[in-house]
Amino acid sequence: MQLVFLLEQVVNGLVLGGYYLLIALGLQLIFSVGGIVNLAHGAFYAIGAYFSVSIAKFLGFGPSVALSPIAVAMLGILFERFLLRRFYAADPILSLLVTFGLAMIVEQLIRIIWGAAPLSVNMPPEFKGSVLIGDFLFSRYRLFLLAVVVGVLASIWLLLHKASFGRVVRAGIQRRDMVAALGIRLQPYMTAIVMLGVGMAALGGALFAPITIVHPAMGAEIIIVAFVVVVIGGLGSFWGVVLSALLVGVVRGMTIHFIPAAGEASMYVLMFLVLLFRPRGLLGERIEKFET
């Protein structure tokens, strides 16, 4: 029976990892292509959650999950056009400062617009409760969440690996100057990547809003996890981040099973161990512009 319990935690950890992935993948894409650690990524996650709460009041759960990421992706255009674009060629510390500052501004704006008290949005009644598959207990809502994550993941993979868009982006990650020499402007691609990245973060916020509270500091909470996932997975590697997110979810679940008090520390221990043996992360590629 003990083995079944452990397997249940593993499967649950994989589902949770899928959710982490939604936020970390965008962060990693923006970092890989633009060389910017977007510390405001969590802020877009929070805005996504708040938008979904506001939209759900009028249109219900489904439209809120669909419209909130689109609205945030539109904000992403402004974010890239008026802020990030100025820092691609600048000292990375400047973009860190700017995005960190933006995260603080957004958090305070949320307090002003929606208030400091936590908000709540309910999931549709049909998603409540669990289903038993064999001996495994699954929350219905998380199965839905998993399906959405798999769908998004497959779409992103196809976009990056089977479309001309992805070829340019992947080339841009490795040799920005060479892409430019071929007469391709990376700027519009970068805008699209930022839209995609912050849109995914917002989707994560909208999807998680029904099972957690929506509060102004939620962005600061998730950015830490997303950052750890990106570091463990490694830069430039789609599958590295996938592997890392799933691993973080499983390791957290297993740690809580055996040493509950250490549950939240487990991902940092994992990061330490991975960086000790693989400084570029699990599947991180050698990216020339990040090497000295």
> Please, which of residues 62-81 interact with other proteins by CB under 8 A?
none
Q: Looking at beta carbons only, is 73 or 110 nearer to other proteins?
A: 110
Least distance from other proteins to the Cβ atom of residue 108, Å: 9
- Other CB atoms within 10 Å distance of the CB of residue 290: 16
Number of residues that bind other proteins (CB under 8 A): 71
Q: Looking at beta carbons only, is 163 or 264 nearer to other proteins?
A: 264
The only residue of 212, 239, 269, 272 in contact with other proteins, by rule CB under 8 A: 212
Site for other proteins in 90-149 (CB under 8 A): 90-93, 96-97, 100, 103-104, 111, 115-123, 128-130, 137, 139, 141-142
Residue pair 189/165 in contact (Cβ under 8 Å)? The answer is yes
| Binding of residue 89 to other proteins (CB under 8 A) | yes
Compute the distance between CA of residue 96 and CA of residue 43 in angstroms, rounded to an integer: 14
| Binding of residue 210 to other proteins (CB under 8 A) | yes
Least distance from other proteins to the Cβ atom of residue 4, Å: 9
| Binding of residue 192 to other proteins (CB under 8 A) | no
Least distance from other proteins to the Cβ atom of residue 60, Å: 14
| Binding of residue 35 to other proteins (CB under 8 A) | yes
Which one of the spans 34-42, 44-52, 70-78, 163-171 is the region binding other proteins (CB under 8 A)? 34-42
Site for other proteins in 233-292 (CB under 8 A): 235, 252-253, 256-257, 260-261, 263-265, 279-280, 287, 289-292
Q: For residue 285, what are its two tokens?
A: 């590629």
| Binding of residue 8 to other proteins (CB under 8 A) | yes
The only residue of 21, 30, 33, 39 in contact with other proteins, by rule CB under 8 A: 39
Q: For residue 239, what are its two tokens?
A: 């599958």
Least distance from other proteins to the Cβ atom of residue 180, Å: 10
Q: Biggest alpha carbon distance in the chain?
A: 62
The only residue of 231, 241, 242, 282 in contact with other proteins, by rule CB under 8 A: 231
The only residue of 83, 109, 159, 217 in contact with other proteins, by rule CB under 8 A: 217
| Binding of residue 177 to other proteins (CB under 8 A) | yes
Q: Looking at beta carbons only, is 5 or 163 nearer to other proteins?
A: 5
The string of DSSP codes covering the chain is -HHHHHHHHHHHHHHHHHHHHHHHHHHHHHHHHH----TTHHHHHHHHHHHHHHHHHHH-HHHHHHHHHHHHHHHHHHHHHHTGGGGTTS-HHHHHHHHHHHHHHHHHHHHHHH-SS-B--PPPGGG-SEEEETTEEEEHHHHHHHHHHHHHHHHHHHHHHSSHHHHHHHHHHH-HHHHHHTT--SHHHHHHHHHHHHHHHHHHHHHHGGGS-B-TTHHHHHHHHHHHHHHHH-TT-HHHHHHHHHHHHHHHHHHHHH-GGGTTTHHHHHHHHHHHH-TT-SS----GGG--
Q: Looking at beta carbons only, is 56 or 73 nearer to other proteins?
A: 56
